[in-house]
Chains A and B, each alone.
Chain A
């Protein structure tokens, strides 16, 4: 299935959000995720099964003023 992560298309196998973060080498504690414009609470990362066509925004803190 296909999903979009930060504006880019990715083909993935069905998996949870937590698995996806793991496969991308992203520390779940260091990011926030929006799925189809809704914030995903951290405690739900392991139970959310990604669906075809999902739009994900994965953000982190960077230097800024």
Chain B
């Protein structure tokens, strides 16, 4: 069943519904192994100035098999639509793909998105032919506007970036899922496997995480756990859970009990 259950974004098909970041790992080797164990096909990267004075550092791309993964460059650290758009244009030139994870931040403490700037940037980027995956608050109205602009998916946060608080507002996620037709990817807030499973059981189409794996005591074990959780959650969603009831219903036949 899961073999035919593909995630489609911007016309591209993905077998895995888990997207992972490449930040915060102890080494490139650990990062590569974690990505492998996560089963992810889409991996996020950041765009930063090359260090001109010290060229000794290895390049991230030297460690990734680019035939296996779709790179999703982000605009992390951008606080205006203008900076985010510039970063996306640079990312497209560096990576030769038009996929971008658009984030325009409003505040350093919460890293919540500035939705006004986000919508502005999304409109420009869609017009320029980018496949835009915007990181947004879990606000169904903003998600609808992002879809109307032409974004290929919406990526509401479960909780603040790196907080590990899980899906703080599952009811908003459900409204978002009923509101938009594009894929809904929970981006940020996932702290452990059950958080990812809950996102998938709600019906979300995918989950994106970085700290949840890279920050775990054993990132490789957590990468595998997240892989299983996203698949289990998706299967459970498709299987259809039983209704919640206050009282018991016996699983064994009521007749034929010995007297």
> Does more than half of chain B's interface fall in helix, strand or loop, or is it mixed?
mixed
- Assess the A65–B76 pair: CB atoms within 8 A: yes
- Closest-CB distance, B17 to chain A (whole angstroms): 17
- Assess the A63–B25 pair: CB atoms within 8 A: yes
Chain B residues with a Cβ closer than 8 Å to the other chain, count: 36
- Assess the B50–A61 pair: CB atoms within 8 A: no
Contact of B60 among A5, A39, A63 (CB under 8 A): A63
- Assess the B23–A63 pair: CB atoms within 8 A: yes
Using A34-B86, A61-B61, A64-B21 as known contacts, say yes or no to A6 and B52 having CB atoms under 8 A apart.
Answer: yes
Using A27-B59, A63-B45 as known contacts, say yes or no to A5 and B71 having CB atoms under 8 A apart.
Answer: no
- Assess the A65–B21 pair: CB atoms within 8 A: yes
Contact of A30 among B21, B46, B61, B74 (CB under 8 A): B61
Chain A residues with a Cβ closer than 8 Å to the other chain, count: 28
Complex interface bits, A22-55 against B, C-beta within 8 A gives 1, otherwise 0? 0011110011111001011110000000000000
- 12 A-B contact pairs sorted by A residue (CB < 8 Å): A10-B52, A30-B61, A30-B94, A32-B90, A42-B93, A59-B90, A61-B46, A62-B48, A63-B25, A64-B76, A65-B161, A65-B211
Interface residues of A (CB under 8 A from B): 5-8, 10, 24-27, 30-34, 37, 39-42, 57-65
